[in-house]
Chain A
Amino acid sequence: MLAEFTMEELCQQADLIVEGHVKDTNISKGRLIVADDISIACSRHVVVIDNILKRPKYQVASQIFVVTLGATGDKISEEVEGEAKLEKGKDVILFLSKDFPVGQAEYTIFGGFQGKYAVVDLRHDRYVFGALVEDGTTLKNFRRIVKTNLGQGTLTATV
């Protein structure tokens, strides 16, 4: 179960916020040791970054690995309820962190399902869908919402 975040908390607490494209997905990452006898299977996804909405102080590569909890395959079905799910070929906005022990170019999704948004082309515009946005929010407006919550702009009308 996840802490319930507001968009402001998500923006403030994520280390990195990116727009990108899921190039490859569900690459086995091995197991994340959580505590004593508890470990969780993880998956690794390749995301090509198109735009950075929140940039950390360190350098970010143009292509990153995103690690998610859970793994699914022929002989394994270890889904972690609440974790964000990435699909190959999809455009996404991701709120990322390095909260889990991951490698240099690897990130995890902050807030689980609350930290991943689908970007979809509809009616000559691009729209954003996800847990903390109203249906009908355009990409342009979503960027404005993120900027406002980061203290970088003024929020105007939504939709």
Chain B
Amino acid sequence: MPIPSDGRKWTTNECRIKMDPPGLDPQWRPTVLAAADMWNAAGANFRFVEDSASSNHVAAYDLGRWNGWIALTQTRPKTPNSALTSATVLVNLHYGWNPSHPSVQSSPQGQAYDLQTVVAHELGHALHLGDDNSPGSTALMKGSIKPGEVRNLSRDDTSAIKLLYP
């Protein structure tokens, strides 16, 4: 499981995150919280905490096809070896989701991406974990996903988060 080598991480051992910004349907909140709880239960010294006053957030916009990017995470600051202070997870509403979003035309169940799996993957990036694209990888942090595919934290995911936040 790759951990980026630029030395960035959260030094507060928590990330406060807002779950209800524009674009993110309120019906998605429980799913996003469940994704955060997957990491909270991993046994590492780190927690995602819901905070409506936080500037860290999970947002949703229709970006179009966008080369197949279904979600993306941005963390700040960008300078190497700095303490992370901000994270934004962006979900692309061009694609179908399960549970569905009211502004997205519903797609057949098999064509929709599992929101909890994808948001949990992106929150892994918010923690500053990298993708695991090794052949045959079943890790949550594998960088690509098929519609309908549901993943949980693998042993590699759990080891990585414990290593980064012991």
Q: List CB contacts (< 8 Å) of B114-147 with chain A.
A: 118, 121-122, 125, 130-131, 133, 143-147
Q: List CB contacts (< 8 Å) of A87-142 with chain B.
A: 97, 99-100, 108-115, 131
Choose, from B28-36, B62-70, B102-110, the stretch at the interface.
Answer: B62-70
B6 lies within 8 A of A112 (CB): no
Known A78-B78, A108-B67: A35·B59 in contact at CB below 8 Å: yes
A37 to chain B, nearest CB (A): 8
A82 lies within 8 A of B146 (CB): no
B67 lies within 8 A of A1 (CB): no
Q: Which residues of A contact B79 (CB under 8 A)?
A: 75-77
B165 to chain A, nearest CB (A): 18
The 0/1 profile, CB within 8 Å of B marked 1, for residues 8-41 of chain A is 0000000000000000000000000011101011
The winner among B63, B79, B143 for most chain A CB atoms within 10 A is B143
A38 lies within 8 A of B90 (CB): yes
Q: Which residues of B contact A75 (CB under 8 A)?
A: 79
Q: List CB contacts (< 8 Å) of B42-101 with chain A.
A: 59, 61, 63-74, 78-80, 88, 90, 95
Which single member of A41, A112, A131 contacts B69 (CB below 8 Å)?
Answer: A112
B118 lies within 8 A of A1 (CB): yes
- Is there a chain A Cβ closer than 8 Å to B9's Cβ? no
Total interface residues in chain A, CB < 8 Å = 31
Q: Which residues of B contact A114 (CB under 8 A)?
A: 68, 144
Number of A-B contacts defined by CB within 8 Å? 99
Q: Which residues of A contact B149 (CB under 8 A)?
A: 4
Known A34-B61, A80-B72: A4·B90 in contact at CB below 8 Å: no
A28 to chain B, nearest CB (A): 13
Which single member of A4, A79, A81, A112 contacts B67 (CB below 8 Å)?
Answer: A112
B4 lies within 8 A of A100 (CB): no
A1 lies within 8 A of B70 (CB): yes
A2 lies within 8 A of B70 (CB): yes
Additional 19 contacts, C-beta under 8 A, given A77-B79, A111-B68? A1-B71, A1-B122, A2-B69, A3-B68, A3-B113, A4-B144, A35-B63, A77-B80, A81-B130, A82-B69, A82-B131, A82-B144, A100-B67, A108-B67, A109-B67, A110-B67, A112-B67, A112-B69, A131-B133
| Chain A interface residues (CB < 8 Å from chain B) | 1-5, 34-36, 38, 40-41, 75-82, 97, 99-100, 108-115, 131
| Chain B interface residues (CB < 8 Å from chain A) | 4, 6, 8, 59, 61, 63-74, 78-80, 88, 90, 95, 113, 118, 121-122, 125, 130-131, 133, 143-147, 149
